[in-house]
Amino acid sequence: MKEGCPYGTHRVISPKGVLPQPADIIDNTIEIYDNEILIDVRTLNLDSASFTQIKKQAKGDIEEMKKIMMGIAAIAGKLKNPVTGSGGMLIGTVEKIGSAYKGSLRVGDKIATLVSLSLTPLVIDEILAIRPEIDHVDIKGKAILFQSGIYAVLPDDLPENLALSILDVAGAPAQTARLVQSGDTVVVIGGGGKSGLFCLYEAKKRAGITGKVICIDRSEKSVNRASMLGLADEYIAADATDALDIYNEVMELTGGRLADIVINCVNMENTEMASILAAKDKGTIYFFSMATSFTKAALGAEGVGKDVNMIVGNGYCKGHVEIALQILRECEGLKQVLNSK
């Protein structure tokens, strides 16, 4: 077997000198290097921003969506959405392990990769089904996991598709657990979506009875879903692209104090300023959404004179898988809602 770089740089075709994620084209041949794992892929879970963009581009036509995805993977060697720059994750079975790979995986293990499809060498032989209600794509194909790639062996007590949906957003509730302190006022924008519901649960748990958690979502249906589960203290149905409307709503609900923590889980563009205006001075904003423009966020905060801490939505932090799965085990209502989608 050929010797590979632990970060996968040996797979980069263009441009040379970069890592696989920012690369435009990578080598997706299924002959593995000595430190790689070959995965027989069953399901892709596209991140919400990417799936929404592809669906919009295809005007909701499933066959056209298939063509778009097949085309991206064929050209780039990976499923990196050229518009959003994001990917998703996958589940599959370990088919082959390189001779120099260091780890506890065995052939036959069922795993979910916890690194983005935007850096994962991927061959899609056939798309079997697209399930728009949960952003899942069932395929026949192969993928490569690098030595540095993180993964989770699928738990026995949860259905595979449910576990995949949860693990894709596991970084959001874990970062919420780090950020929220007892007594904090927390605003979750996009709180009715999958990642938002998890963040609401964790924020309520951490803020405690002296804190306040506010759920904002554009969809009345999504707001009602969060309300039914009792995941927040206040609920607002509003468009997060209208920054002043969000600001006025949060001002009213907080008595003018605004939020200590704002968590943005929205899968659409131009919600940066709503997040910034909802936060108090010296407050913290966690942009989990891959639709975020960090240029708009940085220059926007400067433009309105907001002294806030802004955190990039890193999807990984230690213990994030355990936190996300524990939420499912603790909150039966949330588990049922996600199972029904």
The CATH number linked to 335 is 3.40.50.720
Rounded Cα distance between 24 and 119, Å, is 10
CB-CB contact of 321 with 167 (8 Å)? yes
Structural domain includes residue 1: no
Residues 183 and 323 placed together within one structural domain of the fold: yes
**How deeply is 99 buried, as exposed, middle or buried, from its count of CB atoms within 10 A (0-12, 13-18, 19+)?**
exposed
How many CB atoms are located within 10 Å of the residue 68 CB? 18
Q: Are 142 and 180 in the same domain? A: no
Of the candidates 54, 90, 72, the one whose C-alpha atom is nearest the C-alpha of residue 168 is 90
| Mean pLDDT of the 165-186 span | 90
184 pLDDT above the threshold of 70: yes
How would DSSP label each residue in 109-147? Answer: -EEEE-S-TTTS-EEEEEEEEEETTTTEEEEEEEEEE-T
User: What pLDDT is attached to residue 267?
Assistant: 82
Last residue within a domain, chosen from 106, 136, 167: 167
pLDDT at 340 over 90: no
- Give the burial class of 10: count Cβ atoms within 10 A of its Cβ; 0-12 exposed, 13-18 middle, 19 or more buried: middle
In a domain, 290, yes or no: yes
Same domain, 192 and 161: no
Q: Give the mean pLDDT of the chain.
A: 93
Does some domain include residue 3?
no
**Which of 221, 217, 247, 256 shows the shortest CA–CA distance to 234?**
217
Q: Which of 172-186, 263-277, 287-301, 310-324 has the lowest mean pLDDT?
A: 310-324
Q: What confidence tens digit (pLDDT) does each residue in 1-51 have?
A: 899 999 999 999 999 999 999 999 999 999 999 999 999 999 999 988 899
Is 4 inside any structural domain? no
The model's pLDDT over 98-117, given as tens digits with 9 standing for 90+, comes to 999 999 999 999 999 989 99
pLDDT range class, residue 319, cuts 50, 70, 90: confident
2 in any annotated domain = no
- Same domain, residue pair 176 and 279: yes
159 and 109: one domain? Answer: yes
Question: What b/e string do you get for 22-44 counting C-beta neighbours within 10 Å, with b at 16 or more?
Answer: ebeebbbebebbebbbbbebbbb
Task: Select from 114, 144, 167 the last residue of a domain.
Answer: 167
Q: Is residue 323 situated within a structural domain?
A: yes
Residue 120 and residue 260 in one domain: no
Sheet holding 151-153, edge to edge: 122-131, 136-145, 37-46, 88-97, 110-113, 151-153
Per-residue model confidence (pLDDT) at position 313: 80
- Weakest mean pLDDT among 105-109, 202-206, 211-215, 264-268: 264-268
Looking at the structure, tell me whether residues 187 and 298 fall in a common domain. Answer: yes
| Statement: the pTM of the whole predicted model exceeds 0.85 | no
Q: Residues 177, 324: one domain? A: yes
Helices 171-179 + 194-207 axis angle, to 10: 20
What is the percent of the chain with per-residue pLDDT over 70, rounded to a whole number?
99
Two structure tokens written together for 293 = 């423009």
Mean pLDDT of 274-294: 93
Is 40 in the same domain as 115?
Answer: yes
pLDDT tens digits for 134-143?
Answer: 888 999 999 9
Q: What is the pLDDT of residue 334?
A: 84
Residue 298 is predicted with a pLDDT of 94
Whether 278 maps to a domain, the answer reads yes
The domain tally of the chain equals: 2
pLDDT of 339 higher than 80: no
Q: Could you tell me if 285 and 311 lie in one domain?
A: yes
Domain co-membership, 200 together with 297: yes
pLDDT band at 87 (very low <50, low <70, confident <90, very high): very high
What is the Cα–Cα distance from 245 to 337, expressed in whole angstroms?
A: 29
Q: Let me know if residue 331 belongs to a domain.
A: yes
In this prediction, residues 114-134 reach a mean pLDDT of: 94
Are residue 218 and residue 77 in the same domain, yes or no?
no
**Among the listed ranges 131-140, 197-206, 325-334, which one has the minimum average pLDDT value?**
325-334
Structural domain span for residue 75: 9-167
Instruction: Label residue 234 by pLDDT band (50, 70, 90).
Output: very high
Last residue of a domain, one of 167, 187, 212: 167
